[in-house]
Amino acid sequence: MMDGLSVWGELTQRLPDTIELAVIAMVIATALTVVLGLVAVLKPRSILAKILVPYARTAGAIPDFVLGVLGILIFYTTLHLLPARERHLRSDP
């Protein structure tokens, strides 16, 4: 390994934080989806509902990896807003 840790060591070190981040993201996404879904159903003629319905149809039709590549193309390559990921390697003295 580049940093001297085994694969198992890397997994055990990073897995708890990864699971915590995934759970928090799912809770927030679920709550937001329920609230926005209720708005779209209870007030179908509102401006928010008119934006949410086409978005929901489009979001289900486009795979996530396509959106990821599109985000890289727009924000990094075209707009130069986000920096490239730098890989920091430890050098042994």
> What distances in angstroms separate CA 17 from CA 12, 14, 43, 44, 55, one per listed residue?
10, 6, 39, 39, 31
Q: Which residue range forms the structural domain that includes residue 16?
A: 7-78
Percent of the chain residues topping a pLDDT of 70: 86
The pLDDT-based confidence of 10 (bands split at 50, 70, 90) is confident
Whether residue 92 is contained in a domain is answered as: no
Choose the most confident range, by mean pLDDT, from 5-9, 10-14, 49-53.
49-53
The answer to whether position 40 is within a domain reads yes
The answer to whether residue 36 is domain-embedded is: yes
**What local confidence, expressed as pLDDT, does residue 34 receive?**
94
> Is 84 part of a structural domain of the chain?
no
Phi and psi angles of residue 5, each rounded to the nearest 5 degrees, phi first: -90, 150
Distance CA(41)–CA(57), nearest Å, equals: 15
Query: In this predicted model, what pLDDT tens digit does every residue of 41-86 receive, in sequence order?
Result: 999 999 999 998 888 888 888 888 998 899 889 988 888 887 766 6
State the greatest distance between any 2 C-alpha atoms of the chain, in Å, as a whole number: 66
Per-residue pLDDT at 7 exceeds 80: yes
**Considering the domain boundaries, does residue 87 fall inside one?**
no
Q: Percent of the chain beyond pLDDT 90?
A: 41
Instruction: Compute the mean pLDDT over every residue in the chain, rounded to the nearest whole number.
Output: 85
In a domain, 71, yes or no: yes
The label of the residue with tokens 């986000």 reads 82
Q: Please, what is the end-to-end C-alpha distance for the chain in angstroms?
A: 16
In a domain, 73, yes or no: yes
Domain assignment of residue 27, yes or no: yes
Long-range contacts, stretch 63-68, CB < 8 angstroms, 24+ apart? none
Give the count of domains, the chain: 1
